[in-house]
């Protein structure tokens, strides 16, 4: 049941919202409305495959019990607390490793030792990377004394809350469970307006832009992965089209997740903040998949030592963090290469800032324009490895992009002129238009908005939202999964 499907938009979401609204008024004290949301979220998760429920429920129960004992023992039995934390993290990583990386590891061992071991085929449970990371963070913070003895139903909702369950954001217990304990129902009208607006904007990004531009990305990468030669113009078209497809696909999902949650009075953290407007790779990672960046920083980069032990250690820690961040996205060497590229970009960016201050002091407009162009170029190159099915496919794409390919080029796309026209229009939106959070004055889990919204509730904006929704609704028959569902 996808966010962009008719059954979700016209049945699941309105029914769950209506029942939750009635329960919230009938039971203003207690956990009944939250329990209903847990059950609805589990139903939503099990829609794809009910067997997945065994994984998420088992993970949730085990982590809650381990976390509860860590909280109770952290002061009186610190050694036992460390053992419990190690067991909890190890068990989480073992489950994630089995489902996500067992086949990858076995394939590489088979190739390395030239053995004839039969490959294993494990079905990857939806969202396992997301809810595993959330619960690891909970256990670590419990051992640090940053968690209280939380209500079990609130914990279950923290893990399963359907707006963010499948593809993030990776939420933190400290920003979610206090909200579950005291949902502010005094701003229902604002919640509804902001929630609907976010959802419709996100739906439009997915249906009208991401799925549209995909028809100029998919054939090009498909041809490269199939071993066909493509010319430079097609290769660049495919690479840029995929960069836009992923941008609007992920941005659309992030908006829809925030919108769904806000309808229930819950504020999710921002996960996407116009990353293609960044003027450096450092800034890009403060804007792209912001909650994953936060997790990697707080629970991997800083524990490794961060930047506390000198430049060399800092760069080593950055590379380790980004390599593992790449591997988190998928079990394949292309993802490792993608992570390694971004790790290298970050190291070079930090070295440049440290050793080339005179360049930084050039006219601001000049440095920003150069930084912006170079950042986009590096991002697009890295996305080639992220999208290609194989290293050979990525190499073939890059060879064509830089005029190094040989052989007769095939025509991978139809109507390339229209493709370039759409790429230009969508690029202007990504590079210059204000994002949804800026339009609506929404900046995350805090109730204090930093800037006044540009998009205010009135008859005109209401009409525009309605027209935008109708324009997307007529395209819902051609639904496609969000790209981040595979991670």
The burial of 404, by beta-carbon neighbours within 10 Å (0-12 exposed, 13-18 middle, 19 or more buried), is given as exposed
Extract the tokens encoding 130: 């997301």
Q: How far apart are CA 425 and CA 418, in angstroms?
A: 11
Q: Per the residue annotation, which of 154, 172, 329, 350 is the catalytic one?
A: 329
Is there a cis peptide before residue 169, judged by omega within 30 degrees of 0? Answer: yes
Q: How far apart are CA 245 and CA 414, in angstroms?
A: 17
Instruction: Please say whether the dihedral angle defined by the alpha carbons of residues 269, 271, 274 and 277, taken in this order, is positive or negative.
Output: positive
Kindly write down the DSSP assignment for every residue of 449-471, as one continuous string.
-SS--SS--SHHHHHHHHHHHHH
Q: Give the closest residue to 195 by CA, choosing from 264, 141, 284.
A: 264
CA angle 170, 153, 253 (to 5 degrees): 30
Answer yes or no: are the C-beta atoms of 191 and 21 closer than 8 Å.
no
329 catalytic, yes or no? Answer: yes
Give me Rg for the CA atoms of the chain. 23
Q: How far apart are CA 453 and CA 267, in angstroms?
A: 16
CB proximity list for 285: less than 8 A, separation 6 or greater: 293, 342, 346
Q: How far apart are CA 187 and CA 353, in angstroms?
A: 45
Phi and psi torsions of 272, nearest 5°: -155, 125
Q: Give the closest residue to 254 by CA, choosing from 233, 238, 269.
A: 269
Residue length, the chain? 487
Catalytic residue positions? 329
């Amino acid at each position: 049941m996808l966010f962009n499907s008719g059954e979700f938009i016209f049945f699941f979401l309105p029914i769950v919202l209506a029942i939750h609204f009635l329960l919230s008024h009938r039971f203003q004290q207690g956990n009944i409305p939250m329990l209903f949301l847990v059950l609805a979220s589990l139903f939503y998760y099990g829609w794809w495959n009910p067997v997945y429920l065994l994984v998420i429920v088992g993970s949730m129960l085990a982590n809650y019990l381990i976390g509860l004992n860590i909280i109770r023992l952290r002061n009186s039995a610190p050694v036992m607390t460390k053992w419990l934390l190690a067991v909890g993290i190890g068990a989480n990583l073992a489950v994630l490793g089995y489902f996500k990386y067992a086949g990858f590891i076995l394939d590489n061992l088979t190739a390395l030792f030239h053995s004839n071991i039969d490959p294993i085929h494990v079905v990857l449970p939806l969202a396992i990377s997301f809810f595993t990371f959330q619960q690891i963070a909970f256990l670590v913070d419990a051992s640090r004394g940053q968690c209280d003895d939380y209500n079990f139903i609130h914990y279950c909702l923290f893990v399963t809350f359907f707006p963010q369950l499948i593809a993030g954001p990776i939420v933190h217990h400290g920003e979610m469970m206090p909200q579950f304990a005291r949902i502010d129902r005094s701003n229902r009208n604002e919640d509804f307006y902001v929630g609907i607006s976010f959802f419709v904007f996100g739906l439009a990004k997915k249906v009208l832009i991401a799925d549209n531009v995909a028809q100029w990305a998919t054939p090009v990468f498909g041809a490269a992965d199939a071993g066909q030669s493509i010319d430079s113009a097609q290769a660049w078209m495919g690479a840029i089209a995929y960069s836009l497809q992923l941008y609007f696909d992920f941005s659309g999902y992030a908006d829809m997740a925030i919108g769904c949650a806000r309808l229930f009075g819950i504020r999710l953290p921002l996960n996407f903040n116009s990353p293609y407007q960044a003027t450096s790779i450092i800034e890009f990672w403060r804007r792209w998949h912001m909650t994953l960046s936060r997790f990697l920083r707080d629970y991997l980069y800083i524990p490794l030592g961060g930047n506390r032990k000198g430049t060399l250690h800092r760069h080593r820690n950055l590379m380790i963090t980004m390599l593992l961040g790449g591997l988190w996205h998928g079990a394949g060497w292309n993802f490792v290469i993608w992570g390694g590229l971004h790790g290298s970009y970050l190291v070079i960016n930090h070295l440049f800032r440290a050793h080339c201050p005179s360049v930084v002091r050039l006219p601001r407009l000049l440095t920003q324009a150069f930084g912006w162009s170079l950042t986009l170029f590096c991002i697009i190159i890295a996305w080639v490895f992220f999208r290609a099915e194989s290293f050979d496919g990525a190499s073939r794409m890059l060879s064509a992009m830089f005029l190094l390919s040989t052989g007769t080029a095939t025509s991978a796309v139809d109507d390339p002129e229209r493709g370039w026209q759409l790429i230009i229009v969508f690029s202007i939106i990504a590079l210059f238009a204000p994002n949804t959070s800026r339009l609506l004055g929404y900046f995350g889990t805090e109730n204090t908005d930093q800037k006044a919204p540009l998009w205010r509730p009135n008859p005109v904006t209401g009409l525009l939202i309605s027209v935008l929704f109708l324009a997307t609704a007529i395209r819902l028959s051609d639904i496609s999964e969000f790209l981040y569902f595979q991670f």
